[in-house]
Structure 1
Amino acid sequence: MEMTQNAALIVVDVQEGFEEQEYWGPRNNTGADRNIADLIDAWQESGRPVVFVRHDSPKPDSPLRPGYPGNAFKGYVEERRGKGGGPELLLTKTVNSAFYGTPDLGAWLDEAGIRQIVVAGIQTNMCVETTARMGGNLGYEVFLALDATYTFDAVGPWGWELGADELARATAVTLHSGGFAKVVASADLVAAAGK
Structure 2
Amino acid sequence: MEIAQNAALVVVDVQKGFEELDFWGPRNNPGADDSIASLIDVWQSTGRPVVFVRHDSDTPRSPLRAGYAGNEFKEYVERRRGKGAGAELLVTKTVNSAFYGTPELDGWLKAEGITQIVVAGIQTNMCVETTARMGGNLGYDVMVAFDATYTFDLEGPFGWRRSAEEVAQSSAVSLHGGGFARVVTAKEIVAAAG
User: Is TM more than 0.5 here?
Assistant: yes
Q: Which residue of 1 aligns with 2:166?
A: 166
Aligned counterparts, 1:104-119, within 5 A? 104-119=104-119
Q: Which residue of 1 aligns with 2:33?
A: 33
Whole-Å separation in 2 of the counterparts to 1:192 and 1:47: 14
List gaps (5 residues or longer) in structure 1. Answer: none
The root-mean-square deviation of aligned C-alpha atoms, in Å, is: 0.4
Aligned counterparts, 1:4-153, within 5 A? 4-153=4-153
Whole-Å separation in 2 of the counterparts to 1:121 and 1:100: 17
- Deviation (angstroms), 1:89: 0.1
Q: Secondary structure at the match of 1:120?
A: strand
Moved over 2 A (4+): none
Work out the number of aligned pairs and report it.
Answer: 194
Whole-Å separation in 2 of the counterparts to 1:107 and 1:54: 18
List gaps (5 residues or longer) in structure 2. Answer: none
Q: Secondary structure at the match of 2:168?
A: helix
Whole-Å separation in 2 of the counterparts to 1:158 and 1:6: 45
Q: Which residue of 1 aligns with 2:154?
A: 154
Q: Secondary structure at the match of 1:79?
A: helix
Whole-Å separation in 2 of the counterparts to 1:142 and 1:122: 16
Whole-Å separation in 2 of the counterparts to 1:159 and 1:151: 19
